[in-house]
Amino acid sequence: MNKEGKLYALLATARIANVPSVVSNLGVGVLLGSLDTGGDFSWPWGLMIAALLFYISGNFLNDWADREWDMVNRPERALPRGLFGSQFYLGFACAGFVVGLILAALHGWRAAGVSAVLVGFIVLYTKIHKQAAWSVIPMGLCRACLPVLGFVGVRGGTGGSMLFPAAALLLYIIALSLSARWESTAEVPKGKKLISRLLLLAAGVVATLLPIMVMPLVGWIGMTAFFMWMVLCVTKYRSPVPAYVSALLAGIPLVDWVTLLPMALIWMQLERVEAFDPMFSIAVFLPPVAFALGRMLQRVAPAT
């Protein structure tokens, strides 16, 4: 692909490599919320489009807000290069938020409420992320809203199970964001690195709590792939910092798999689903497919 062209610039702005992880994050909530539907399970396509619009629009809004900073620090981006007008980016972001909110509202007022909170966190993060160190928290809350949105969108109500993947994603994104702040340097400072790695470990532990509480002998299985990838992140991909951050970004769906893989096996053992029916198949295959697609798409356009 021509890295000087407009298509590449749009894909880079959208952070296209991270889009599969958004579907996975929403999916863990959808599946947990759909457990009582049995054979009536259907994938909420409108809700998925809404989640993707929120994510992509947030990136356009972020680049619009950072256009002056990017002139000095990220001149390769589309707005500093003059490929698009800044008002186009702002208009696209606002339109995406509005359409996403409408699509979410079709799944009930609770889904609309979660979506409004999600958009609020996106706007808050965009406003403060260059000034406040604690901006990593609203950044993490943006991702944490996705499984909650998936859950309430299909269930029509709330439930305790949705909090586990949401909390795990919050911790993981905070850990990732702490490292991403040092992308322009040679290495993450030791203190920040230690905190980040502890939070990554905590994210895996929190994600596995739900299946372990249901069936301890099976509940730990999802940790295997997550742990192996984290080891690779802190060894093979630890340097330079952008490579490390890209590896962590690709690993976001594996946080979902920590929960979904053992839960799929548990559901089958409890005869809540049958092997390779839609719920089982999505739970088993969605996160690793999202991980693989994300890693491949990082070759198309940068993830940050």
- The DSSP line for 15-45 is TGGGHHHHHHHHHHHHHHHTGGGGGG----H
User: Which tokens sit at 203?
Assistant: 């994210």
- Do residues 178 and 136 lie in contact, with contact meaning Cβ atoms separated by under 8 Å? yes
Cα 9 to Cα 62: distance, rounded to the nearest angstrom: 14
pLDDT in tens, 1-23: 667 789 999 999 999 999 999 99
Determine the average pLDDT of the residues in 93-105: 98
For residue 38, pLDDT beyond 60: no
- Do residues 126 and 58 lie in contact, with contact meaning Cβ atoms separated by under 8 Å? yes
pTM of the model: 0.94
pLDDT at site 262? 97
Q: Is 27 exposed, middle or buried (0-12, 13-18, 19+ CB in 10 A)?
A: buried
Question: pLDDT band at 70, cuts 50/70/90?
Answer: confident
Q: Tell me the average pLDDT of the chain.
A: 93
Cα 61 to Cα 67: distance, rounded to the nearest angstrom: 10
Question: pLDDT band at 184, cuts 50/70/90?
Answer: low
pLDDT at site 233? 94
DSSP designation for 177: H
- Total residues found in the chain within this entry: 304
For residue 175, give Cα distances in angstroms to 14, 65, 181. Answer: 22, 23, 11
Question: pLDDT band at 183, cuts 50/70/90?
Answer: low
